[in-house]
Structure 1
């Protein structure tokens, strides 16, 4: 079997990295340095009074529920024959660095720190400082996976000449990168990836015959995969209000399962195809489940509430190595 190859968002999933569940809140002095408008009221409530605290200490019962979500997800994926890899946990030293900087730390969404296109594995750059080192617990997996086959690259480090919270970039995050054969859609809203990051990816991937399509998003949308899910060839879940320049021409003829901006904010589009016949989504998204079934898609459901409060769902917590 090929070690690394991602053909599309809905090609049969065979090997995937599933995230851990670790997070520490930033210090109060650092909370105003990042735009967190995409987060829900529940997230703000959970963080109140817990500056610089590990989530597991602040909310032990919610931590247990969060970890169980990943256990259930792994079991579901494995029931379909998918090989599941898990990043290592953060070391005490890594946690100390996060506390000392005041930014906190995270090890909770494997989609964003890196992404795979074809046989290329690419480390990205994350805008939020507490996520800049989130690739490190995954790096051993990336090295092993590309040791004999596959190409391993990293985007240029972001400019910090105006400070660690500078918006210069380049930023390129996996949640903004959707693969559709030789076409790569990359979103940018001002919250995550930016044009400098997309332009770097365009120049890089054209050497492998790919077209990279920038997609300008509503400013409250964190990533492209919060507003668009390619379920199978010709069918997508989409929040059209999130696309400031309209739906990309390559997708305009596709059938649409429409959702609103409010739906997008609770990650209704952030499901995960196992293949073109099977789709994973949250059990609470009844309208999307019904719509998918009308299109003869088998729907698998899980409770992913805690992950969604943190700003990500099924796609965010996974990054495929093999989809072909």
Structure 2
């Protein structure tokens, strides 16, 4: 059986599902895209090829193995992009929630069915009208930050992945933690005006440190709340270019070890100055599909 327990984003990572980049199928067309970053690269003939994705994910895999993380891979599904395992579910304490993801991605869930059967707890499936994806869920001890979109045009935006119904449900179910919704910018077509998930603009990396990309938030008050909560000296505040590059989407293996993109020069220096070993990986091709290291992983157990 697989033990599960997640109380935060930074305790020592023991077991994780890492996505796979094989058998992606034909390159997507404009009509296949369900986020503006992928759409941009499809239109500009810069969408990544499978060989490059395989290489980058494999390097990431080796970094996890280096630090003694148990890595579980999804079962391969032909003609299916299975890189971004994060969105398929999430763990809060010892509860596993299966995400209600966008219809375009339903086949990905089949790849983790075998793993879910081996968990030491049951799997909670939310009702269909409660939309939520794992990239919007950040667990921080007695708090859970959840990215959402609360405007009336929610149903028209395929980039809006988590709704208020799911947040209300989690508030009732997990009474031991404070559920904090955070509104995100959304656009189906404008790469500069869309934050696909909360972890694309915010992530906690220790009990008192965080990465914040202010341009990704819909409301400035949420940015101010987070900066005040962690303390300005404990926060890496990304500029607009760094926000565009998804600089917050690192993976914390432990408080002392973080996997980051080799191109995140300013962030990597800040982390190293704070005593963190930064495992640098070039994830440039994966990032063209709107995610990096956190998006590629679904942690099941942290020490």
* TM-score, normalisation: structure 1: 0.79
Q: Which secondary structure does the structure 1 equivalent of 2:36 belong to? A: coil
Match of 1:112 in 2: 87
Q: Which secondary structure does the structure 2 equivalent of 1:111 belong to? A: helix
Uncovered stretches (5+) of structure 2, i.e. residues with no partner: 187-193
Q: Which of residues 143, 150, 155 in structure 2 aligns to 1:183?
A: 143
Residues 43 and 310, structure 1, Cα contact 8 Å, conserved in 2:
no
**Superposition RMSD on alpha carbons, in Å?**
2.3
Q: Which secondary structure does the structure 2 equivalent of 1:175 belong to? A: helix
Residues 249 and 295, structure 2, Cα contact 8 Å, conserved in 1:
yes
Match of 2:204 in 1: 230
Residues of 2 paired with 1:179 and 1:248: CA distance? Answer: 19
* TM-score, normalisation: structure 2: 0.85
Query: Cα distance 1:204–1:38, how it changes in 2: closer, same or farther (>3 A)?
Result: farther
Cα-to-partner distance string for 1:290-320 (whole Å, 9 max, x where unaligned): 1111212111101111110011100000011
For residue 38 of structure 1, report the CA deviation from its aligned partner: 4.4
The total of aligned residue pairs comes to 280
Residues 144 and 178, structure 2, Cα contact 8 Å, conserved in 1:
yes
> Could you tell which deviates more after superposition, 113-122 or 211-220?
211-220
Residues of 2 paired with 1:258 and 1:273: CA distance? Answer: 17
Confirm whether residue 37 of structure 1 aligns to residue 11 of structure 2: no
Uncovered stretches (5+) of structure 1, i.e. residues with no partner: 49-58, 96-104, 159-169
Query: Cα distance 1:270–1:187, how it changes in 2: closer, same or farther (>3 A)?
Result: same
The 5 Å alignment of 1:24-103 reads 24=25, 30-31=31-32, 34=34, 36-39=35-38, 41-46=40-45, 62-91=49-78, 95=79
Q: Which secondary structure does the structure 2 equivalent of 1:107 belong to? A: coil
Match of 2:116 in 1: 142
For residue 108 of structure 1, report the CA deviation from its aligned partner: 1.9
Residues of 2 paired with 1:196 and 1:135: CA distance? Answer: 22
Cα-to-partner distance string for 1:123-166 (whole Å, 9 max, x where unaligned): 01113x2112321101111111x2xx2231111124xxxxxxxx
Residues of 2 paired with 1:44 and 1:199: CA distance? Answer: 38
Match of 2:182 in 1: 215
Residues 9 and 140, structure 2, Cα contact 8 Å, conserved in 1:
yes
Q: Which secondary structure does the structure 2 equivalent of 1:293 belong to? A: helix
